[in-house]
Amino acid sequence: MIVPKQSVRNMRPYSPPTQGRGGKIRLDFNENTVGCSPRVLAAVTQALTEENVAMYPEYSEARTEIAKFLGVADDQLTFTNGTDEAIQLLINTFFEPGDELVTLSPSYAMYRFYAEVAGVRVTEVAYQIEDDLVFPLQSLTKMITSTTRGVFIANPNNPTGRAISVDDVVTILEHSPRTIFLLDEAYVEFSQISVLPLLDRYPNLFISRTFSKAFGMAGLRCGCLVSSAENIAWARRAQSPYSVNALAVAAACAAVGDIEFVANYVHEVVNARQMVQDALTRYGLRWFLSDGNFLLFDAGSRKQQILDQMKSAGILIRDRSHEIDGCVRVTIGTIDQMKLFITEMEKAI
């Protein structure tokens, strides 16, 4: 056996239930539950030529397209293999082993994951159940010191659901002008709260975006990291020149060309979320406000009953009780899908 480096030996295993999901009602990974726009599929088919498959991908035209969509300059953006590569890239580019990263808990697991691989120390600030899992702004600002290298925040946060306001982000940025801030806007299409307009004012701000969620392209692995041109130039120095494949960037361009598709999906999800909230209220279950395409609720003593019932009906949801006692997270899909979920909830309860 070859012994891995110390930081990897120290890691806790992370193994989300990623296998055997095909053909089920997937309310477990916050994907788009109906898939991508037909225009995306057409663009992928069109891009599937011998030349494109044989050739290393080129990004400059696509970068111009996506930068225009986001309202930033081309050199303020680099494509990444999903948000996950954006997180890894930030750590690889800007953090030394032993540096401190502050994140929230619970939040997206990959912040801790890539930090631990790199030997970066992670400090977590906990969302409090007594405060309805509201963003712990004061505790967070208290925790950020002059030696904190970076702070990674998902906005809206997964799995708790709520987004923080642009004003709250400004408060944090003003508090620590020398700390690196990542605002992970994976669910921004649902929350409609973005800090992109702050980029010009804060040179320590990074924003990640993904095509995995509302755009329905999780299988293609495409996202991007956005910041000042100088920051992005450093990040690109530490990045593989070909980390995103040619079909993924072709798909991303088609995706931003069909914003109506996303707007319709978001509209349906918001209505379906309300329907699920109403149902949970009827069952007397506590749920937590969400600005994303998912809802966290406290199933309490009925948690196992609910998980078993969903499993037998072929509906995948996520047990989050290891993070917040008794809690389960359900991805919100279409009205019809959520009616199926509610029917099974009724049977379970």
Ligand X SMILES: Cc1ncc(COP(=O)(O)O)c(C=O)c1O
The residue ranges that bind ligand X (CB under 6 A) are 30, 82-84, 108, 154, 158, 184, 186, 210, 212, 218, 223
Lookup: tokens for 291: 């600005």
Closer by beta carbon to ligand X, 16 or else 20: 16
Closer by beta carbon to ligand X, 181 or else 348: 181
Closer by beta carbon to ligand X, 122 or else 349: 122
CB of residue 15 to ligand X, shortest distance in Å: 15
CB of residue 305 to ligand X, shortest distance in Å: 26
Please give the torsion angle defined by the CA atoms of residues 76, 79, 81 and 85, in that order, rounded to the nearest 10 degrees: -20
Neighbours of 141 (CB within 10 A): 16
Residue type, 187: Y
CB of residue 211 to ligand X, shortest distance in Å: 7
3-state DSSP helix/strand/coil % of the chain, to nearest 5: 45, 15, 40
CB of residue 184 to ligand X, shortest distance in Å: 5
Closer by beta carbon to ligand X, 78 or else 309: 78
Nearest to 244 by CA among 114, 50, 83, 37: 83
CB of residue 83 to ligand X, shortest distance in Å: 3
Closer by beta carbon to ligand X, 158 or else 191: 158
Lookup: tokens for 276: 């699920």
CB-CB contact of 220 with 250 (8 Å): no
Distances 169 to 103, 121, 165, 191, 194 between C-alpha atoms, Å? 14, 23, 7, 15, 10
Nearest to 294 by CA among 277, 311, 312: 277
Report d(CA 11, CA 28) in Å as an integer: 24
Helix axes 229-237, 82-94, angle to 10 degrees: 90
CB of residue 294 to ligand X, shortest distance in Å: 8
Lookup: tokens for 261: 């598709």
Q: In the complex, which residue's CB is closest to ligand X?
A: 82
CB of residue 82 to ligand X, shortest distance in Å: 3
Secondary structure element (H or E) that encloses residue 297, with its range: strand 294-298
Neighbours of 327 (CB within 10 A): 25
CB of residue 282 to ligand X, shortest distance in Å: 28
Neighbours of 91 (CB within 10 A): 26
Closer by beta carbon to ligand X, 81 or else 179: 81
Closer by beta carbon to ligand X, 76 or else 208: 208
Closer by beta carbon to ligand X, 321 or else 343: 321
